[in-house]
Amino acid sequence: MARSRSSRVSGGAASPPASERDRLVDATLRLIAQEGWRRLSMAAIAAEADLPILSLYREFRAKPAILAAFYRRIDEAVLAAPVEAEAGERPRDRVFDLLMRRFDALRPYRAALEVLARELPSDPLSALALGTRLLCSIGWMLDTAGIATQGLGGVLAVKLTAGIYLATVRVWLRDETPDLAPTMAALDRRLRSVERWFRPARRPRQGETAAPA
């Protein structure tokens, strides 16, 4: 079993007032949980956020863009703290920690995510856009874990990990245990099956400039 969750997302000082962008994302997630995704209108989102629709137009041109901003919020929560190295750990252990951080960050939005899991498959354009955004998120997590994401092997590692994440989401959505033990067990089992693709990333030598992503 991979190491226990030692790097959880935790609360800190009081947050500053939410920006209009955050208010719109939060309003969208509330409405998804209450009314679903397919029939959700941009006007309803603006009204729920108590903002003029022009503010919504300036921030987001379509509903998938709002969900992409939500993904970015979760990415930032996951990447906010460094991955704590432990003696004898494997790259798989670091990926496990980062993905469990992601589930912790997603917990407040679970009701909306349950709806999206049901309804997004019937909206292929939105699903495709969000699938591309998820691959970007997974790439950042693998890179943070010191795993190569470039070249054929790196691209395959990202796609395999994204598939594992999506499969584990289905377990997580049904997991009512306080410690998420079933989710952790499913994630660990699946990561073990693909860890041979987790190759160390090449780090720039001293004085060498890293190539742009």
Residue pair 208/131 in contact by the 8 Å Cβ criterion: no
Domain positions in the chain are 20-197
**What Rg do the C-alpha atoms of the chain give, in angstroms?**
18
Which pLDDT score, from 0 to 100, does residue 212 have?
41
CA triple 26-30-33, angle to 5 deg: 140
- What is the reported pLDDT for 10? 46
Report the alpha-carbon distance of residue 67 to residue 181 in Å, rounded. 28
Select 20-197's CATH number: 3.40.50.970, 3.40.50.2300, 1.10.357.10, 3.30.1490.20: 1.10.357.10
What tokens were used for 125?
């354009």
Average the pLDDT over 61-68 and give the result. 95
Which of 89-99 are b and which e, b meaning 16 or more Cβ less than 10 Å from the residue's Cβ?
Answer: eebbbbbbbbb
Least confident segment among 72-76, 87-91, 93-97: 87-91
Name the band, by pLDDT with cuts 50, 70 and 90, for residue 190.
Answer: very high
- For residue 97, which of 141, 46, 38, 163 has the smallest C-alpha distance? 141
Rounded distance between C-alpha atoms, residue 40 and residue 170, angstroms: 23
Residue 11 pLDDT > 70: no
Rounded Cα distance between 64 and 132, Å, is: 11
pLDDT in tens, 127-147: 999 999 999 999 999 999 999
pLDDT for residue 205: 54
Name the band, by pLDDT with cuts 50, 70 and 90, for residue 203.
low
Mean pLDDT score of the chain: 89
pLDDT surpassing 60 at residue 67: yes
List all residues 6 or more positions away from 147 whose beta carbon is below 8 Å from its beta carbon: 91, 94, 95, 154, 157, 198, 199, 200, 201
Mean pLDDT over residues 56-84, rounded?
Answer: 94
Residue 208 in this model has a pLDDT that exceeds 80: no
Average pLDDT over residues 149-168: 96
